[in-house]
């Protein structure tokens, strides 16, 4: 049983953070409530003034994901039932039914933080901050740490919130662009040219959404060295970690090798449990996590008690979850690769080496979003147009579901009938 974090603990954490004088002299009224002075007021004021572009990826999925019969673009691996989770550990069903549904500790349930920290080398439970899904982690991280006057570099293409939430802080944002023409390689010389005296954060994603590619060990080490030489925070999105197609190619987590790095983890992708809506930030930098926790008090305060129980259970047996999902991915990948080769007049790609997704170049001279919408409306096959990544000549495919062969056959039949 877990209890809500005490007010005294929150006050102590707040005391370790400086309060801007300009914020201390004003109050803010919102929805009929008056908020007092302090850092929280400044953060709330920024939220109310925030401008965010429409979230195109989620808008597109919201339109089609729950009506399309064949999902051929999903970014998560095959899921499983709560019963299947509970069967992983004797006695867990009885414990789950007795689990208290009160508030949980704001940093995360101790049991969950313990099991998450054990996934890393040199990371303690106190180095972990649990979030209500990685989306909250991205939002909280950027808004707790960046603002006007700061500079952020974001690796692109990327999951849209990684870029747009950086922009929403008021910071200057530069894109470290990768491109299909050079095999989506990481150009470190180009990254170095983007650095400014006020560069505060570099966001990277490995294994990468949408390409499904791992950063090379050499590029990863050079990037960390570059950031460390300037004290820049590395925000490393690692939600596909442990779903490398060859586990021997797995990189160390950023938080393991650099004190100013923050690793972003998730229950959704590799482990196939997006319905739990849980993620985490892991870092050895105490101040970074304290500031993120202070901001979390303005978002969710704490996570779902049942979800934390199930997440801890799943992670204690994550080898079982990962092995099943890797088997599906490795069974489906050759089928998808063969399909793309057979349809070389339509498609080509850099074959992924991690995750359950890949980014396929669409060769016909036509608008890719209209093609994807025709396919989902007429064949019931959901593909994700690259326009949501500002890549108008690409389509994201997903191959992490058991029924991918059936979905692929449906797409093939549609193309045969309309070619």
What are the b/e assignments for 255-279, b being 16+ CB within 10 Å?
bebbebbbbbbbbbbbbbbbebbbb
DSSP 252-305: PPHHHH-TTEEEEEESSSSS--GGG--EEEE-S-HHHHHHHHHHHTTTTSS--H
Distance CA 318, CA 270 (A): 9
| pLDDT class of 20 with cuts at 50, 70, 90 | very low
- Assess contact for 119 and 266: CB atoms under 8 A: no
**Rounded average pLDDT over 351-377:** 97
Handedness of CA 180, 244, 280, 402 (dihedral sign): positive
Q: Which fold has domain 56-80+319-417?
A: 3.90.1150
What are the b/e assignments for 160-187, b being 16+ CB within 10 Å?
bbbbbbbbbbbbbbbebebebeeebebe
Question: Which of left, alpha, beta for 254 (phi over 0: left; psi -120 to 50: alpha)?
Answer: alpha
**Considering the chain, what is the average pLDDT of its residues?**
91
| pTM, 2 dp | 0.89
Token duo for residue 409: 């056959």
pLDDT for 113-162, tens place per residue?
999 999 999 999 999 999 999 999 999 999 999 999 999 999 999 999 99
Handedness of CA 95, 98, 104, 105 (dihedral sign): negative
CATH 3.40.640.10 in the chain, residues? 82-317
Residue with tokens 């008090």: 297
3-state DSSP: the chain helix, strand, coil percent, rounded to 5? 45, 15, 40
pLDDT for 24-69, tens place per residue?
334 444 334 344 445 556 666 666 567 788 899 999 999 999 999 9
Q: Which CATH architecture has domain 82-317?
A: 3-Layer(aba) Sandwich (3.40)
pLDDT for 303-338, tens place per residue?
999 999 999 999 999 999 999 999 999 999 999 999
CATH 3.90.1150.10 in the chain, residues? 56-80+319-417
Coil, strand or helix at 147: coil
């Amino acid at each position: 049983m877990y209890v809500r974090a005490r007010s005294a603990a929150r006050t102590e954490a707040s005391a370790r953070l400086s309060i801007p004088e300009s914020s201390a002299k004003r109050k803010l009224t919102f929805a009929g409530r008056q908020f007092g002075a302090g850092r929280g007021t400044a953060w709330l004021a920024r939220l109310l003034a925030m401008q965010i572009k429409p979230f195109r990826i989620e808008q597109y999925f919201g339109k089609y994901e729950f009506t399309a019969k064949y999902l051929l673009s999903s970014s998560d691996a095959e899921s499983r039932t709560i019963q299947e989770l509970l069967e992983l550990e004797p006695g867990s069903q009885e414990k789950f039914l007795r689990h208290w549904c009160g508030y949980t500790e704001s940093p995360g349930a101790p049991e969950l933080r313990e099991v998450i920290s054990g996934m890393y080398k040199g990371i303690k439970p106190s180095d972990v901050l649990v979030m209500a899904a990685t989306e909250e982690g991205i939002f909280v991280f950027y808004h707790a740490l960046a603002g006007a006057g700061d500079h952020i570099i974001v690796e692109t293409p990327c999951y849209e919130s990684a870029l747009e939430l950086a922009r929403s802080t008021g910071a200057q944002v530069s894109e470290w662009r990768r491109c299909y023409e050079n095999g989506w390689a990481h150009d470190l010389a180009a990254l170095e040219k983007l650095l400014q005296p006020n560069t505060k954060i570099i966001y990277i994603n490995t294994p990468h959404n949408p390409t499904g590619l791992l950063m090379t060990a050499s590029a990863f080490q050079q990037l960390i060295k570059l950031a460390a030489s300037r004290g820049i925070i590395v925000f490393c999105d690692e939600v596909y970690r442990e779903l490398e197609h060859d586990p021997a190619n797995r990189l160390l987590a950023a938080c393991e090798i650099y004190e100013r790095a923050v690793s972003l983890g998730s229950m959704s992708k590799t482990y196939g449990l997006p319905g739990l809506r849980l993620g985490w930030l892991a870092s050895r930098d105490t101040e970074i996590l304290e500031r993120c926790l202070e901001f979390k008090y303005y978002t969710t305060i704490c996570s779902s008690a049942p979800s934390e129980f199930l997440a801890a259970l799943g992670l204690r047996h994550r080898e079982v979850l990962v092995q099943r999902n890797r088997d599906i991915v490795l069974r489906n990948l050759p089928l998808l690769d063969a399909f793309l080769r057979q349809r070389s007049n339509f498609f080509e790609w850099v074959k992924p080496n991690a995750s359950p997704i890949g980014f396929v170049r669409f060769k016909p001279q036509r608008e890719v979003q209209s093609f994807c919408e025709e396919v989902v409306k007429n064949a019931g096959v959901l593909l994700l147009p690259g326009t949501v990544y500002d890549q108008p000549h690409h389509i994201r495919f997903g191959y992490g579901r058991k029924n991918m062969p059936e979905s692929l056959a449906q797409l093939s039949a549609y193309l045969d009938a309309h070619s």
